[in-house]
Amino acid sequence: MKRVLILAYDFPPYVSVGGLRPYAWYRYLKEYGIYPIVVTRQWGNKYGNHLDYIAPGDSSEVIEENSEYGTILKTPYKPNLGNRIMLKYGESKFKLLRKLISAFFEFSQWIWMIGPKVQLYFAAKKYLNSNNVEAIIATGDPFILFRYASILSKKYKIPWIADYRDPWIQDKSRKKNFLLHNWEAFWEKKCTTNLNSIITVSSFVEKQISSLLKEKKFHILPNGFDPDNIENIRNISQETDILNIGFVGTIYDWHPLESFLMVCNDFSKNEKARININFYGVSNEEKINNILEAKYPYLKTLVSISPRLPNQLLKEKLASNSILILFNDYSILGTKIFDYLALKRLILLCYENDPKAMELKKKYFLIKEFNSESKHLQKDVIDSTNSGIIINDESHLYEYLKNLYMEFQENGFISCNSVGIEKFSRKFQVKELSAIINNISSNKY
């Protein structure tokens, strides 16, 4: 059986959408004749929030786990001094000192083999000293893994593939920092000179990457949902007593969060509607609470905010909701839409053409768009699968909530008549990945 070494910093049990992509490779590649060896770091869920990203590992040694699916090498993790200070004294203390320490490692990790992430390189190198593999895949962010894969590829003469879950230097926020932008642009070019090919999630991301990396071979492997996880929760029913509206994941500055809360507040008060709004694993709980306390204290009693949850438990929680909310990400498809599809709960996309939302996009959406690419990818998926409603603006959201609430009162649930969602299974994407690996392994380094 052919073997592939996968460098994946984000990986379960760490709660991260970025970890679901390499986990699917680990879970399904063996079914297509390829044995995966995943090199990641030791993760725990001690805090249930962003602090888990810098929490120390459990052991100073590499922990090897073997299963029916493959092998996982969990490397030691020791936070840098700045992060240790934050864990000990809190996020409000020694901010400047912590930034300086983090900046040192952010720059120096590209020159020397140092920093909290370097243990992945050492573990991969040790494994390759005594084991053969046909290919190496590094999935970023963090993109330092590309440097490690490039070095290992040269040393052991193994072809490697760069997996871009997102672009590297093309975000406009990075371009604002001239030094960082040019430093990373230099290393992006240098690290990718010897790669075999690039895989990424959409043609939109491909265009962004190819603006810097010319004449590289690309493969598009979209994200999707894990069919095994979904199958286990198919029988979970919607709550029947109160209309539950759910949202999961990061809320970005261009998302019309305050507008959404305002409409829900007005709707619940004016219509005397019994609703709950459930936020799961959001990145800015404080912002939500501040808006509610300052403007919508009535709604605050109807809002529940949960910490990050293990993926399976999250899906179970989501399944109890009758409506799932997506905020418009325009040229970005994201990952949460696939789990929404798999759960077969009605999706409301907010908004297509709301003036306030357009102002937020203009101010905060810092990603270059292309005229040749769709600027409404989520809408395209929802329309093609009949899985939800494209909400135009605030008034449209209010009226649609009224209609849906009437349906809920009559039936005790909200119907979703989606079709054709099977093509978004991660297992289907892994089949495509196996073909890519087989092709490059037959034309080795």
The pLDDT tens digits for 95-135 are 899 999 988 988 899 999 999 999 999 999 999 999 999 99
Structural domain contains residue 106: no
Structural domain contains residue 87: no
Which tokens is 261 given? 């809360």
202 and 237 housed in the same domain = no
Which pLDDT belongs to residue 444?
A: 65
* Spatial CA neighbour of 124 closest among 25, 8, 224, 274: 8
pLDDT, tens digit, 9 for 90 and up, residues 261-311: 999 999 999 999 999 999 998 878 889 999 999 999 999 999 999 988 888
Which pLDDT belongs to residue 403?
A: 96
Q: Which helix (H) or strand (E) covers residue 70, if one does?
A: none
Residue 300 lies in domain: 227-424
Number of C-beta neighbours around residue 95 at 10 A: 12
Q: Which helix (H) or strand (E) covers residue 137, if one does?
A: strand 135-140
Q: What is the CATH number of the domain that holds 249?
A: 3.40.50.2000
> What would the 3-class secondary structure string for 383-425 be?
HHHCCEEEECCHHHHHHHHHHHHHHHHHHCCCCCCCCCHHHHE
Cis peptide before 142 (omega within 30 of 0): yes
21 and 51 housed in the same domain = yes
**Over the chain, what is the mean pLDDT?**
91
* Spatial CA neighbour of 184 closest among 153, 215, 209, 154: 209
pLDDT, tens digit, 9 for 90 and up, residues 349-365: 999 999 999 999 999 98
Structural domain contains residue 436: yes
Query: By percentage, how much of the chain surpasses pLDDT 70?
Result: 97
Q: H-type helices in 192-301, by residue range?
A: 203-210, 227-231, 257-270, 285-295, 297-300
Which pLDDT belongs to residue 308?
A: 81
pLDDT, tens digit, 9 for 90 and up, residues 135-180: 999 998 899 999 999 999 999 999 999 999 988 887 655 666 777 7
20 and 122 housed in the same domain = yes
* Spatial CA neighbour of 345 closest among 207, 180, 213, 233: 233
* Spatial CA neighbour of 322 closest among 401, 232, 425: 401
39 and 9 housed in the same domain = yes
* pTM attached to this predicted model: 0.83
Structural domain contains residue 85: no
Structural domain contains residue 84: no
Which pLDDT belongs to residue 40?
A: 98
Structural domain contains residue 98: no
- Pseudo-torsion of CA 303, 309, 313, 317, nearest 10°? 10
pLDDT, tens digit, 9 for 90 and up, residues 380-419: 999 999 999 999 999 999 999 999 999 999 999 999 999 9
Q: pLDDT at residue 10 above 90? A: yes
271 and 415 housed in the same domain = yes
187 and 207 housed in the same domain = yes
Number of C-beta neighbours around residue 318 at 10 A: 24
177 and 323 housed in the same domain = no
Amino acid identity, position 358: M
Q: pLDDT at residue 25 above 80? A: yes
Least confident of 216-220, 228-232, 347-351, 372-376: 228-232
401 and 434 housed in the same domain = no
pLDDT, tens digit, 9 for 90 and up, residues 196-219: 999 999 888 898 898 888 888 999
Backbone phi, then psi, for 60, in 5-degree steps?
Answer: -85, 0
Q: Compute the distance between CA of residue 171 and CA of residue 252 in angstroms, rounded to an integer.
A: 14
Cis peptide before 13 (omega within 30 of 0): yes
Which pLDDT belongs to residue 171?
A: 61
Structural domain contains residue 97: no
205 and 251 housed in the same domain = no
What is the tally of structural domains in the chain? 2
Section 241-257 average pLDDT: 94
213 and 278 housed in the same domain = no
387 and 408 housed in the same domain = yes
219 and 334 housed in the same domain = no
Structural domain contains residue 308: yes
